[in-house]
Amino acid sequence: MKIAENIVESIAVIEVEGNIDSKTAPEFEKAAINAIKGQGQVIIDLSKVEFLSSAGLRVLLMIYRQIKAQNGKVVLVGVSEEIQDVMSNTGFINFFIIVATIEEGIESLKQG
Amino acid sequence: MADIRIDYYPTHEHEGIKFRRGRPLPFGATMVPNGVNFSVYSSAAISCTLVLFERGEAQPYAEIPFPDEFRIGDVFCMTVFDLDYERLEYGYRMDGPFIPEQGYRFDKNIILSDPYSKVLGGRDTWRAEPNWDNIYPYRSRLAFEDFDWENDHPLETPIEDLSIYEMHVRGFTSHPSADIKNGGTFSGIRSKIPYLKSLGINCIELMPIYEFDEWENSRVNPENGEMLVNYWGYSTVNFFSPKAGYAATGKFGMQVDELKTLIKELHKHGIEVFLDVVFNHTAEGDHRGHTISFRGIDNKTYYMLTPEGYYFNFSGTGNTLNCNHPVVRNMVLDCLRYWASEYHIDGFRFDLAAILGRAQDGSPLSNPPLLESLAYDPVLAKCKLVAEAWDAGGLYQVGSFPAYGRWAEWNGKYRDAVRRFLKGDTGLVGEISQRIQGSPDLYSSRGPTASINFVACHDGFTLHDMFAYNDKHNEANGENNNDGANDNNSWNSGWEGPTDDAAINFLRHKQIKNALTILMVSQGTPMILMGDEMGHTQRGNNNTYCQDTEWNWLNWDLLNSNADLFRYAQLILRFRRAHPVLRSATHFRHYDYVGSGLPDISFHGTHAWRPDWSESSRTLGFMLCGNHAKGGTITDDTIYVAMNMYWEPLHFELPVLEGGAKWHVFANTDMSNSQDIHAIGEEPILEDQSSFFVGSRSVVVLVAK
């Protein structure tokens, strides 16, 4: 798994590549916590993620809870149809803003 | 601070896996800091080995014998470190005597699933053919129990205000006409919440969703070559695990989250969730059955055994869970508490619940400890407890089930009396008068809240088939039509099975409307069977336990072809919810205790105030005084119901209304479409206020305004 962190227009953007499962979730969690430190908003780019396990979904939820505590929002970008389906069936999707591109994500966060 | 505790670190090592002495409670596998605590009870095993698998692998990656000093009492416990919560599958080998005549059936060659596992792998996708050579087919797994419920909690709707919809997870949305993405799953039900709201029910009762094996006793239908499976699921493999194959995400092991999401969403829409739970037997069968878990862990504890070591069969399915054994009783309690607290379940319906009142030797107990424990349990205090108050061993306790002020019952006598009344049997008017009052003859001290009223349920004919078949037609089950009940109290309305005869089809629809009407104007809690609101047919099969076919799948196109039935069902359900006078928590007193000039309930016949109680009578009218609603605490409209089950129309003289109120017609099942029932508040005024010409085999509902 590869994780890249950027700041785009003062918003934290985390790009993930590879599967997020119980093996890689701790690494993802650690990087994400680091990246969102002091941030009110976050965009997570999942367009290069093919599989998100229960443990992976829980890291996303943990990020959501931390951001929500700052009254912020979490945007997920490029989520595959299958992962969206899983997130919808398990209710996780309700916590996130789902968009196709990072630009759209920035736009939706700016609109508040 | 947390990581300075010394029990966060291992003390032992075996094949590179680190572990330490565990804690005996809670039973099962519990995530603890840095590891998992495993705890399993066996009263007679000599030794136990923990077997660990990587998910889906054929062979275990480790087997760790419990050191002798890790056994506390009869509990083996150990904490194992650095396990992958998500990928782990675990089981146990138990060593001990194999002396069946003494009740011992230990076999250390078999890997056993944990009776307390919260997720069970192995049947992850419905009807995906399993690997029959798997050395460990039903695999215990860990569950993430950190679901975000937000503000959700069980709804605690008073039971008399519920309208229950009995439903099968696959049956509800498997048919292509359901037209949704994840048919036959928990997620599929969620897609249909708008439908449930539009129908007007406020409680769904799910047929068994504890993990079972649809492949159990699977075979080919001799008639058409189709596979017959265990479709209903009354055969539990594990009591704590939701059925993975009922989840669209079961293949990813996310069934727990999917089911919780469904329940949370139903609660948001005011719909309660009951589970049909099967604590009377397990899937292990009799002495010829498979050893999956209980039999190999502690046969003598979990099962009622004959003095020769065979299995008592009060369930009709091979074995009987030994529910009044203190250890098994605690397991049942732990299980229900888990579902109530972890899944926010609102109520439980206990399959063949009379068994729960039997002693370890099978004899009925006067004060069954399990039933008492459930009734007084702190965690279950607000859950509805509903008994199917009979078993397959001949114990029939409708009206006499040990209730402790808590238990309600599936009122089998309601079903039988209403069915016979509808088909035109005589001698029933007296009994019907009791049934529509919430059966005070059965539940005098318990109130109408003890009575779950129903005319059809999963067991037996659908409502449509009750008026389309005299006899069961179960040939497709492959048992030479010997399975299923014979006392259906059904009448085919003049022709066996489908017909083009318009008069017969009209009568069948009318009878369905009659049944729904009587059900909804009866005190107690009504329950309808999924699909009865749109005339679902099982083609005369009254025992479709093995049919994973269109016979059981709800055909949503019926909403168009039987639009009149659905409209009727919607409005009669709304009528019940609009009128608290139909939903009393206490029995009628049969006098005027609020000074309205009318008794709370009065009976009538073709002559007002003079019901015909004679043996040959097929008529009954009754009037509920609106000022007596909910024990006189609420004012409602006065309601009059006339039931004519005679084959000719009859004039019913109507009770005179005081104070300028007029009778309005809410429902008249003898009328054809759109005139048979009216929207609440739009009931037309009745021209002749003194009498009503009630059609043959018809029910009329009037409202005074």
- Chain segment B458-490, per-residue pLDDT in tens: 999 999 999 999 999 999 998 999 999 999 999
Query: For the segment B581-611, what is each residue's pLDDT rounded down to a tens digit?
Result: 999 999 999 999 999 999 999 999 999 999 9
The β-bridge partners of B139 are B121
Tell me what the mean pLDDT of segment B264-275 comes to.
98
Asked if the Cβ–Cβ distance from B144 to A54 is below 8 Å, we say: yes
- Using CB atoms, which residue from B185, B252, B261 is nearest to A91? B261
Q: What are the structural domains, with CATH classification, of chain A?
A: 14-97 (3.30.750.24)
| Whether pLDDT at B1 is above 70 | no
From chain B residues 222-281, the ones with a CB under 8 A of any chain A CB are: 247-249, 252-254, 257-258, 260-261, 264-265
Say what percent of chain B tops pLDDT 70. Answer: 100
Asked if the Cβ–Cβ distance from A61 to B87 is below 8 Å, we say: no
pLDDT band at B2 (very low <50, low <70, confident <90, very high): low
Indicate the burial class of B131 (C-beta count within 10 angstroms; 0-12, 13-18, 19 or more). Answer: exposed
Q: Which residues of B touch A22 (CB under 8 A)?
A: 84-87
The β-bridge partners of B487 are none
Q: Tell me what pLDDT residue B659 has.
A: 87
Query: A65 CA to chain B: closest CA distance, Å?
Result: 10
Q: Which of B273, B213, B288 lies closest to B243, judged by CA?
A: B213
Verify cis geometry, omega within 30 degrees of 0, for the bond prior to B67. no
Query: A35 CA to chain B: closest CA distance, Å?
Result: 24
Query: For the segment B214-234, what is each residue's pLDDT rounded down to a tens digit?
Result: 999 999 987 788 899 999 999
Asked if the Cβ–Cβ distance from A92 to B146 is below 8 Å, we say: no
Distance of CA B189 to the CA centre of its chain: 16
Query: For the segment B231-260, what is each residue's pLDDT rounded down to a tens digit?
Result: 999 999 999 999 999 999 999 999 999 999
Q: Which of B422, B420, B448, B419 lies closest to B436, judged by CA?
A: B448
- Residue B204 parent element (H or E): strand B203-206
Query: B187 CA to chain A: closest CA distance, Å?
Result: 6
Other CB atoms within 10 A of residue A30 CB: 12
Q: Tell me what pLDDT residue A112 has.
A: 67
Query: For the segment A58-112, what is each residue's pLDDT rounded down to a tens digit?
Result: 999 999 999 999 889 999 999 999 999 999 999 999 999 999 999 999 999 988 6
Single-letter amino acid, residue B597: G
The β-bridge partners of B644 are B619, B698
Picking from A62, A80, A90, A94 by the largest number of B CB atoms within 10 A of its own CB, the best residue to mutate is: A90
Q: Which of B650, B691, B687 lies closest to B670, judged by CA?
A: B650
Single-letter amino acid, residue B636: D
| Whether pLDDT at B138 is above 70 | yes
What is the β-pairing status of strands B347-350 and B384-387? Answer: parallel
Query: For the segment B528-573, what is each residue's pLDDT rounded down to a tens digit?
Result: 999 999 999 999 999 999 999 999 999 999 999 999 999 999 999 9
Q: Which of B327, B332, B329, B322 lies closest to B42, judged by CA?
A: B327
Query: B254 CA to chain A: closest CA distance, Å?
Result: 7
Picking from A89, A93, A95, A96 by the largest number of B CB atoms within 10 A of its own CB, the best residue to mutate is: A89
Other CB atoms within 10 A of residue B110 CB: 19
pLDDT band at B683 (very low <50, low <70, confident <90, very high): very high
Q: Tell me what pLDDT residue B6 has.
A: 79
- Residue A32 parent element (H or E): helix A25-36
Category of B302 on φ-ψ map: left (φ > 0), alpha (ψ -120 to 50) or beta: alpha
Asked if the Cβ–Cβ distance from A91 to B260 is below 8 Å, we say: yes
DSSP state of B363: P
Chain B interface includes A19 (CB < 8 A): no
Task: Give catalytic residues of B, as residue numbers.
Answer: 351, 388
Picking from B249, B260, B264 by the largest number of A CB atoms within 10 A of its own CB, the best residue to mutate is: B249
The matching CATH number, chosen from 1.20.1260.10, 3.20.20.80, 3.40.50.300, 3.40.50.410, for B159-580 is 3.20.20.80
Rounded alpha-carbon distances, angstroms, from residue B355 to A51, B336, B368, B378: 46, 17, 10, 23
What is the value of pTM for the model shown? 0.97
Q: Which residues of A touch B148 (CB under 8 A)?
A: 61, 91, 95
DSSP state of B607: B
Picking from A19, A23, A54 by the largest number of B CB atoms within 10 A of its own CB, the best residue to mutate is: A54
Outline which parts of chain B fall under CATH 2.60.40.1180: 589-704
Chain B interface includes A88 (CB < 8 A): yes
d(CA B603, CA A42): 69
Distance of CA B118 to the CA centre of its chain: 21
Asked if the Cβ–Cβ distance from A86 to B260 is below 8 Å, we say: no
CATH of domain B589-704: 2.60.40.1180
Chain B interface includes A89 (CB < 8 A): yes
Q: Are B571 and B680 in contact (CB under 8 A)?
A: yes
From chain B residues 439-478, the ones with a CB under 8 A of any chain A CB are: none
Please give the residue that has the higher pLDDT: either A36 or B208.
Answer: B208
Q: Are B348 and B275 in contact (CB under 8 A)?
A: yes
- Using CB atoms, which residue from B182, B247, B252 is nearest to A53? B252
Q: Tell me what pLDDT residue B8 has.
A: 83
Q: Tell me what pLDDT residue B406 has.
A: 93
d(CA B170, CA B13): 46
- Using CB atoms, which residue from B85, B144, B187 is nearest to A89? B187
Give the residue from chain A lying closest to B84, CA to CA. Answer: A22
Asked if the Cβ–Cβ distance from A86 to B187 is below 8 Å, we say: no
- Using CB atoms, which residue from B85, B148, B247 is nearest to A61? B148
Indicate the burial class of B333 (C-beta count within 10 angstroms; 0-12, 13-18, 19 or more). Answer: middle
Outline which parts of chain B fall under CATH 3.20.20.80: 159-580
